[in-house]
Amino acid sequence: MAKQRGNPGAHPSTAVLTRGFDPRLSVGSARPAVFRSSTYVFPTPEAAERAFDLVSGRQTVEPGEVPDLIYSRFNHPNAEILEDQIIPLEEGSEWAVVFNSGMAAIMTSLMALLRPGDCLLYTVPLYGGTQNLIHDLLEPFGIQCRAVVAGHGPDLDEAIRNTPNLRVILIETPANPTMVMTDIKRACILAGGLDPKPVVIVDNTFLGPAFQHPITLGADLVLYSATKYLGGFSDLLAGVALGTDPEIQKKIRGKRGLFGNILQPDECWILDGRLPTVSLRMNRQSKNAQRIAESLAHRKEIRKVYYPTLFDDTEQIKIRLSQCDYPGAMIALDLNGGKTAAFEFLRHLELAHNAVSLGGMETLVCHPGSTTHSGCSEEEQRIAGITGGLVRISIGLEDWRDLLRDFEQALDHIAATVLT
């Protein structure tokens, strides 16, 4: 399926529509067919033998050779098409591996790269599922896991220099829900000075692939919950790992084949159709969010608006300017009046939905303290900046003026009831 058409140096918005899919392999159809088969027919027994030698890694692909498909837990045409078409969206990446959720991408990558006795360094706050994965799976398996609070560059420097058996550094930036950022390049430079060099992984779900490009900053592996901006319509679960080192790809593919968590053909096909509009959607969502965040900043019902263009810490401003093209579409509001005010705000929204998740074309608002981050200890909540009054907003594609009016009328309710 990996037949190349067009100019190999094409820009991402062209490449996403022209590479990786050969209509001749889908009876001339302009969009890919869905190949639901679980197994594939070999032309000869020798071809079957060769296909197994290749998938097991006993032999390597010859130049120009197109490996035969075997069985859909290892690979299938819709995964191949999706993987080929997603690569140009992630600047600097040379391969992609797709999974049936973001958690599957994170779990499989970490299980492929870590052994008992190895150390994983990770920034906090971290997505709740990833935090649980560390505590409930990796630590009981004998992997040493060390947390570093994001937003304090020198602490991460110290941890990278002084952690024995450091094999993986996992960075989530910006961090959920207050958008605190970690300097990817600085971590990669320090990691590059170690022998053996730890693998630097960036969970790029919040700003990628449109606005933040970790591989160009030195990261080895970029992970996504494609459930969010890549999928964009809040109607599928998916995950992606992208990188450059063929050895890392081989390890991750091997584990995906064992775990059986490849993205299914129908979901691959749906996600594939969303790729050409990711950048359009993210740009509009970011513009909407910036206008709304900056318009709300002066409201007396709000103690603080968390949004990248409103950062006040000099180190955070420097990181934002050096590693993010645009501020993105996630906003957090710390409301005066605590949990009561936050719940009244949610109750009075007329356009925005009260739901977790993010990145969809519809605006979603949640109360992290009682939902996404309810499993965190008080100390973890304090570090993450989660107060009773904090609400997190994922801005969608609606007209920003309507959304602003919706937030303003909900704030008016708080002013009239909770804060009087």
Ligand X SMILES: *Cc1c(COP(=O)(O)O)cnc(C)c1O
Residues in touch with ligand X (CB under 6 A): 101-103, 127, 129-130, 172, 176, 203, 205, 225, 227-228, 237, 239
* CB of 108 or CB of 288, closer to ligand X: 108
Give the whole-angstrom CA distance, residue 420 versus residue 322. Answer: 43
**Which amino acid, residue 31?**
R
CB atoms within 10 A of CB 325: 13
CB of 357 to ligand X, least distance (A): 7
Contact 193, 160 (CB under 8 A): no
H or E segment to which residue 252 belongs: helix 246-259
Specify the residue, 372 or 387, whose C-beta has the smaller distance to ligand X: 372
CB nearer to ligand X: give 78 or 205.
205
The CB-of-335 to ligand X minimum distance in angstroms stands at 22
Residue nearer to ligand X on the CB measure, 88 or 174: 174
Phi, psi of 236 (to 5 degrees): -155, 160
CB of 365 to ligand X, least distance (A): 15
Closest approach of ligand X to the CB of residue 400, in Å = 23
Q: Minimum distance between the CB of residue 360 and ligand X, rounded to whole angstroms?
A: 12
Q: Decide whether 81 or 263 has the Cβ nearer to ligand X.
A: 263
Q: Nearest approach, Cβ of 306 to ligand X (angstroms)?
A: 16
Q: Are 318 and 276 in contact (CB under 8 A)?
A: no
Instruction: State which residue, 107 or 418, has the beta carbon closest to ligand X.
Output: 107
The conformation of residue 151, written as its DSSP 8-state character, comes to T
φ, ψ of residue 333 in degrees (nearest 5): -115, 125
* Residues 6 or more apart whose Cβ sits within 8 Å of residue 403: 288, 292, 351, 352, 363, 395, 396
- Cβ atoms of 236 and 270 closer than 8 Å: yes
Tokens 């602490």, located at residue:
155
**Nearest to ligand X of 22, 380 (CB atom):** 380
CA 416, 418, 419, 420 torsion: positive or negative? positive
| CB-based contacts of 26, cutoff 8 Å, min separation 6 | 32, 33
- Minimum CB distance to ligand X smaller for 83 or for 172: 172
* Number of residues assigned to the chain: 420
Provide the 8-state DSSP code for 327: -
Maximum Cα interatomic distance, the chain, rounded to a whole number of Å: 80
Q: How far is CA 272 from CA 19, 87, 226, 260, 343, in A?
A: 12, 12, 11, 20, 37
Kindly state the smallest distance separating residue 394's Cβ from ligand X, in Å. Answer: 10
- Closer to ligand X by CB, 122 or 400: give it: 122
The span from the CA of 283 to the CA of 281, in Å, is 5
Element (H, E) at 285: helix 278-296
Closest approach of ligand X to the CB of residue 176, in Å: 6
- Work out how close the CB of 39 gets to ligand X at its nearest, in angstroms, rounded to a whole number: 27
Q: Which residue is nearest to ligand X (CB)?
A: 102
